[in-house]
Structures are given as C-alpha cells and as structure tokens.
Structure 1
Amino acid sequence: MSQLYETMYILRPDLGEEMVGQAIEKYRSILQDNGAEILETQHRGKRRLAYEIAKHREGVYVQMNYTCNGSQVAVLERAMRLSDEVIRYLTVKQEPPKAAKEADA
C-alpha cells in the first residue's frame, strides 16, 4: 500500500548549480528506479542554517514529495547518509488528505 512521504534535505552550500542539479536528479532517480512515484520536487535555494552543521552556516534546501510503500525510503536515506554532498535530511510520513480519508470510509 502506497503512503505519502516528504523528504527535506540540505546540500552543502559550496556545490555549484550544476552539481546541485545533479544531486537532485540523483535522489529523484533512486526513488523512481525503486518504484516510487515523485509528486513534486522543490529546489528552495540557499538559506542560512539555524546552527552550524559540519562547519557550514548555509545550505541548499530541497523538498521532495512522493508516494511509495516504505522500502524505497530506506534506500534513499542510505544513499544520503553515505553521500558527502548531503549535510542533513529528514523524511516524514504524511497523513492522506481528509477528502481521501472520507472517501475510503
């Protein structure tokens, strides 16, 4: 059964625009190759961090919304954990919209 997930990750600020684009595409393709359906990807740009992470004061924020059965999340997070370009990530399982919940009942 597919669930709705949101992953927000922060890339190193010293990556160029081309490298950022490659990283975004890399994580999108990891999900798609494992059977997830990408709903939306938002490149939110470079922002100041609330606190220093790995000696970085800024980071490039990216948000991905997708549906999958859960096993794809582990594959994605493992790739991010092993990557030097990602300094922080968080995946949240979202509740389905209320209209969809009521239709199922």
Structure 2
Amino acid sequence: MNYMYETMYILRPDLNDEAIDQEIHKYQSIAQEQGADILETQHRGKRRLAYEIQDQREGIYIQMNYQGPGNIIAPLERAMRLSEEVIRYLTVKQNILAEEALAEAAEE
C-alpha cells in the first residue's frame, strides 16, 4: 500500500551549489531505489534556524514529497542520520493514500 510522504531536511549552510545538488540527487536516488515515486523536490534556500544545531545558525532547507510503501523511510533516514551534511531531518506521512490523492487531483 502506497502512502504520501514529505521529508524536510536541513543541510549545512557552507555547502556550495554543486554539493547541494549532489545531496538532493543522493536522497532522491535512495528513495527511488526503495520503490518511491518522487513527486516534487523544493530547494527552499538558506534560512536562519530557530536555535543553534551542531554549531550552525543557518541551514539550507530541502523539501521532498514522494509516494511509496512504508519501507522506504528507514533507509532514507539512516542515510541522513549518517551524513555530515544533514544537520536535521523530519519525515511526515500524509494521512491519505496515494491513490486517493491522485483521484482528488484528477477531479480538480
């Protein structure tokens, strides 16, 4: 059964554009290898953090929306946890099934 997910992660602010693109591609690839369909990835830019994380005051926010089975989350979050470039991440499961979301989008 496929669900909709949203993962927001924050990268270190000192990464250059090429390194940011590599990180985005890396996490998209991990999700796709686990059977996810990437719906949208948004580069939200550098923003000030609400509080200091790992001696950082700013971070580069990336939002990735995708759908797939529940087993895609663990490998994705494990890769983020082990990465030195990611300073924080959060995955939220949308409370609608992917099929329902596609049907609603088709109706609109």
TM-score, normalized by length of structure 2? 0.89
Measured after TM superposition, the shift of residue 68 of structure 1 is 1.2
Secondary structure of 1:95 counterpart: strand
Q: Which residue of 1 aligns with 2:28?
A: 28
Deviations 1:49-88 (A, max 9, x none): 0000000000000000001111111010000000000000
Residues matched between the structures, number: 100
CA distances 1:29-60 after superposition (whole Å, capped 9, x unpaired): 00011110001100000000000000000000
* Counterpart in the other structure of 2:89: 89
Q: Distance in 2 between matches of 1:45 and 1:37?
A: 23
Structure 1 CA distance, aligned partners of 2:89 and 2:25? 16
Measure, in 2, the Cα distance between the counterparts of 1:93 and 1:35: 16
The sequence identity of aligned pairs, in percent, is: 67
Corresponding residue of 1:38: 38
Structure 2 distance, partners of 1:58, 1:89, is 14
Aligned residue in 1 for 2:67 = 67
Amino acid corresponding to residue 57 of structure 1 in structure 2: R
Deviation at 1:19, TM superposition (A): 0.2
Q: TM-score, normalised by structure 1?
A: 0.91
2:35 is the alignment partner of 1:12: no
The runs of 5 or more residues in structure 2 that have no matched partner are 104-108
Show structure 1 runs of 4+ deviating over 2 A: none
